[in-house]
Chain A
Amino acid sequence: MGLEDRILQAIVAGLSSGSIYAVIGLMIYIVYNVTTVFDLSLGCYVMLGGMIAAVLYASGLALPLSITLAVVITVIMGAGVWLIFMRRSMETAPHLTQVLITVGIMVMITSAAQMVFGTGTKMLPHFADIAPIRISSYAVITPQAPWIWGSLVLMIVAISWLYNRSMLGKGLRAVRDQMLAARLMGIKPLNTMLFSYALAAALGAIIGSMMVPMTAVSFGISFKIVVYGLIAGIVGGITKMRGIIVAGLALGVLEQLAAGFISSNYAEAIAMSVFLVALLLRPTGLLGAKEVRAEAKI
């Protein structure tokens, strides 16, 4: 068990949790890019996706079916929440109010989950019934990791295509850059916002159900997980998708390195502190230095 082995193991394990942070960063990016609001309620959809998938599976449904249903239900809930609580304020209310509303929604969804699902953690079995893959004498890839990595890659490809190639993505970008002009061109800003929110909820539900076999899920993770996503988002530069993904993965790897070499009890605190320092030194993000003014609204 050499030093390289331990570093390798930390990187392999860190890339799994880092992928989760990266996806949450992506969700925040998707919503931010239309509304310029940092949406804190998005963490809930990761939790909801995992929770619902676990509950459906426990009630006897097949695994693929329960995951699909979980994603569908989560998206419907996300769209419903957006229509009920956010629609009225998204165009006119002050920016600060919009951010606070997302905090309130996070509190509501989390408390509702606590009432409905209870305080216990929920589990799912590994998706593929395979043995952990050994890549050296010490480092192993857990059976769930390829699923998480795969979904991150697929999401990146799909979202890049959506934003850069499709007409819909152009509409989304237009609303971010100039809402009034976009409206004059026949784009309905509220529809694009609803679409982005539902899309983010879908990504959250997918990664939520993917991560359950690895980390288990309980109602209380939503806030913590969205903070991780926000850190990845801001350190990476919120308008740069590449930066967010790199920052999310780095956060995960850093956490595992801290756990492997210092102490697993302090891993979270150490990783957070390093990113905090990075944020304090370069508050505009590692890649997003030119984009500060985009946030000037709050």
Chain B
Amino acid sequence: MKAMGNYWKWILPGVIILFLLLLPLWGSLYIMSIFIFIGLYGMAALGVGVLIGYAGQVNLGPNAFMLIGAYTSAILAVDYGISPWLGTLCGAILTGVIAYIIGRAILRLHGFILAVVTACVALVSYRLVCELEITRGVFGITRIPHYAIGGFVLNQEVHYYYLVLVVLAILYVVTSNLIKSRFGRGFMALNLFHGGSEVASEAVGLDVGKLKMQAFVVSAVYGSIGGSIYAHYVTCITPQPFDLWWGLVLMMMATIGGMRSVLGPLIGSGLYFGLKEIISLTGAIKMAGLETFVFGLIFVLFLIFMPLGVVQLPSMVRRRWGKKDVGTAS
């Protein structure tokens, strides 16, 4: 049984990675663009997952970080001719600093304040982007340049597919290591789903406020990177794909996939876009809002019955089978 478990542990990820790597061979542009969106929103969702699953803090406006990342990079590239790579970096630094300032002021406190403040920041930044001159208001920024490596311009779906895959792989490795590091174990101690407690963490000498702030800054930077790549991929951005609803959707993605896992938010992102495509493919149902309704319902049902998300499924199944084995043996 144990050998079997190890076997699966390597086979399944291998198959998935191979599938993802070889997808452009047979996948159409349409399929690839869906995967790109899954990846981009998955990055932001990953950030939300780190914050909510490991630091137990709710961010109701993760879209704000995507928005800031996207617009920083786009404005720098269009108005000042700065390389998109540098723009992406600037966006990440800017969001990191904003998150640091917010976190510094409030994360030392207990409570729900972060959720409200992030929702507030999302509202304000969305309004500003809709009104300001420099962001071109609701019409958005057009003709944003693509990324380029030397003279090679990344202007096709395939290029972005692999770019997103590479960035995701990097973020995945970084996050996994972060969680296994001292910070990560600190996060675990904070976690409120598994009997962790802030008071106990403080008692053993962890700087709870600092830990939460690190998680918050990391989550902000992930969102910003996703937003920046989004801007350079679609080449014209309006405020609309970063509105408040997307913030909630991102949070639901992170929770449905599984908060206490690095893979979970990506699965959640895949589920959302999959659901959206299925609903639009069936075509008969042309009801706006259906996919968010279904997704919201799934989200609530998961919270009630399986609070650790989709990634909890294998262990739940195993536990059930395990019990059965014991039963037949005796």
Contacts and interface: CB of A to CB of B under 8 A. Distances in A.
A298 B290 contact: no
A136 B272 CA distance: 55
Contact of A276 (B60, B111, B117, B245): B117
B212 to A, nearest CB: 12
Highest count of chain B CB atoms <10 Å: which of A95, A104, A292, A295:
A104
B113 interface: yes
B72 interface: no
Interface in A284-298: 284, 292-293, 295-298
Interface in A105-152: 105-108, 110-115, 119
Contacts of A296: 110-111, 198
Interface in B96-128: 102, 105-106, 109-113, 115-117, 119-121, 123-124, 127-128
B300 A272 contact: no
B289 A111 contact: yes
B271 interface: no
Nearest to A276: B120
Interface in B47-66: 52, 56, 58, 60
Interface in A91-111: 93-97, 99-101, 103-108, 110-111
Contacts of B300: 85, 101, 104-105, 108
Contacts of A220: 245
Contacts of A93: 303-304, 307
Contacts of B192: 94-96, 298
A101 B304 contact: yes
A283 B131 contact: no
A281 B116 CA distance: 15
A103 B251 contact: yes
B304 A115 contact: no
A280 B106 CA distance: 6
Contact of A97 (B60, B293, B303): B303
Contacts of A268: 123-124, 127
Interface in A22-36: none
A38 interface: yes
B206 interface: no
Given A268-B123, A295-B110, A115 B116 contact: no
A108 B289 CA distance: 9
B255 interface: yes
Nearest to A281: B105
Contact of A100 (B119, B127, B244, B303): B303
B112 A89 contact: no
B288 interface: yes
A104 B296 CA distance: 5
Given A96-B56, A100-B303, A224-B244, A108 B115 contact: no
Interface residues of A, number: 53
A288 to B, nearest CB: 11
Given A103-B251, A224-B244, A279-B116, A284 B304 contact: no
Interface stretch (A9-17, A181-189, A201-209, A227-235): A227-235
B60 A103 contact: yes
B105 A99 contact: no
A57 interface: no
Given A99-B58, A104-B252, A224-B244, A292 B289 contact: no
Contact of B293 (A94, A115, A234): A115
B112 A115 contact: no
A88 interface: yes
Contacts of A106: 248
Given A89-B303, A89-B304, A283-B105, A100 B117 contact: no
A223 interface: yes
A223 B244 CA distance: 8
B193 A96 contact: yes
Between A95, A108, A110, A220, the greatest number of chain B beta carbons within 10 A of the residue's beta carbon is seen for A108
Given A100-B303, A280-B106, A283-B106, A111 B119 contact: no
B299 interface: yes
B304 A88 contact: yes
B17 interface: no
Nearest to B194: A94
A112 B300 CA distance: 15
B287 interface: yes
B287 A94 contact: no
B235 interface: no
A111 B304 contact: no
B280 interface: no
A215 interface: no
A89 B245 CA distance: 25
B288 A114 contact: yes
A223 B289 contact: no
Given A107-B252, A266-B128, A266-B131, 4 more contacts: A93-B303, A97-B307, A105-B300, A269-B131
20 contacts: A38-B115, A93-B307, A94-B192, A101-B303, A103-B252, A104-B297, A104-B300, A111-B289, A114-B292, A220-B245, A231-B116, A234-B112, A234-B116, A265-B131, A268-B123, A272-B124, A276-B117, A292-B110, A296-B111, A298-B58
Interface of B: 52, 56, 58, 60, 102, 105-106, 109-113, 115-117, 119-121, 123-124, 127-128, 131, 192-193, 198, 244-245, 248, 251-252, 255, 287-290, 292-293, 295-297, 299-300, 303-304, 307
